[in-house]
Amino acid sequence: MREIRWHGRGGQGAKSVSELLAAAMLRAGYQVQAFPEYGPERSGAPLQAYTRYSTEEIRLHCGVVEPDGVVVLDESLLGEVDVTAGLKQGGLLLVNSASTAADIARAAGYGGPIVCLDAGSLAAEAGARHGNVVMVGALALLEGKPELEELYSGLDEIFGGKLSGSALAANRRAIEIGFREAGKREIVSTAIGQTGREPLGATLRRYDELALGGVLPAEAAGHPHTGSWRTEVKPQVVVDRCVNCLLCWVNCPDAAVVLHGTDFYGFDHDYCKGCELCSEVCPTGAIEMVTERTKLPAFGRVEEVLT
């Protein structure tokens, strides 16, 4: 039995490609499973999905904790989620990233086989919207199965009722590009070794080391960043247009607006989720949403509109 774990964010299609791979493997004659694991997360929140395939009946009905391979659809998860947790020795780490495998190895703390593909750019080349189908094509090449025609059949089954004919054709091209490009990539292993990550809360002190009554002061508690959950956009402010009405501060649900005294200053992108409320209520158009990859000065303050 082979087990694949997919890491992505809500809206990036991890669940869909886990099912696509399973549908293709079913056509190849395998027993299959595919299902996601998430709760009430919003778009942009981390989630996992799983695919199992085997020549024999699959009796496991739980999440994949010791995968043979891991596919990461968003490289920003490397700083937030232990994507290599439980990954078997020699297991493949396939990452949607324009970075080098050495960079990914350091970010993930993983010294096993790594392959990187800039799936977003490759998907755009094919006319597709998302890189998830590029990644499933790449995985098929690296796994040695299924064949492209089986992936195409899986695509038709999973997306046939949801996408137009032209969109299906674009996603077919994206699968083929991923399959082709994976064959050009060197599978890199490093000397880093699989170090793993310190689990959240591992540094918390024992109850008897805390204040009287086992109280955990707020300043000693973990404060995980939530800004990496954004829906691919973030705010910038053109400071010359701001009139300090503070409507952004009033309407921000995540306390991501930074004030100096009673004056608006900018945004704390570590805690901004990209809800766009600030830009909608700004009466002067000072606040604009830009793509996640846009490089911004501190606090998103710009002197003129970035293009």
Residue type, 118: D
Domains and CATH numbers, the chain: 2-182 (3.40.920.10), 227-302 (3.30.70.20)
Q: What are the pLDDT digits (tens) for 9-18?
A: 888 999 999 9
CB 274 within 8 A of CB 228: no
The mean pLDDT of 278-285, rounded to a whole number, is 95
Q: Distance between CA atoms of 98 and 40, rounded to whole angstroms?
A: 30
CB 241 within 8 A of CB 285: yes
Query: In this predicted structure, what is the pLDDT of residue 302?
Result: 93
Q: What are the pLDDT digits (tens) for 59-83?
A: 988 999 999 999 999 988 887 889 9
Residue type, 219: E
Query: In this predicted structure, what is the pLDDT of residue 213?
Result: 61
Residue type, 299: F
The better pLDDT of the pair 207, 154 is held by 154
CB 177 within 8 A of CB 126: yes
**Owner of token pair 């973030």:** 234
Residue type, 146: P
What one-character-per-residue DSSP string does 18-82 give? HHHHHHHHHHTT-EEEEEEE--SPPTT-EEEEEEEEESS-----S--SS-SEEEES-GGGGGTS-
Q: What are the pLDDT digits (tens) for 217-248?
A: 555 565 667 776 776 789 999 999 999 999 99
Residue type, 201: G
Q: Distance between CA atoms of 45 and 10, rounded to whole angstroms?
A: 5
- Which residue from 22, 114, 30 is spatially nearest to 70, judged by alpha carbons? 114
Query: In this predicted structure, what is the pLDDT of residue 207?
Result: 55
The mean pLDDT of 149-177, rounded to a whole number, is 92
Please write down the HEC assignment for all residues of 186-231: CCECCCCCCCCCCCCCCCCCCHHHCECCCECCHHHCCCCCCHHHCC
The mean pLDDT of 183-204, rounded to a whole number, is 57
Tell me the range of 52-56, 86-90, 100-104 where mean pLDDT is highest: 52-56
pLDDT-based confidence at residue 204 (cuts at 50, 70, 90): very low
The better pLDDT of the pair 291, 149 is held by 149
CA angle, residues 159, 11, 64, in degrees to nearest 5: 85
Q: What are the pLDDT digits (tens) for 241-281?
A: 999 999 999 999 888 999 999 999 999 998 898 889 999 99
Which of 80-94, 150-164, 205-219 is predicted with the least confidence, judged by mean pLDDT? 205-219
pLDDT at 114 over 70: yes
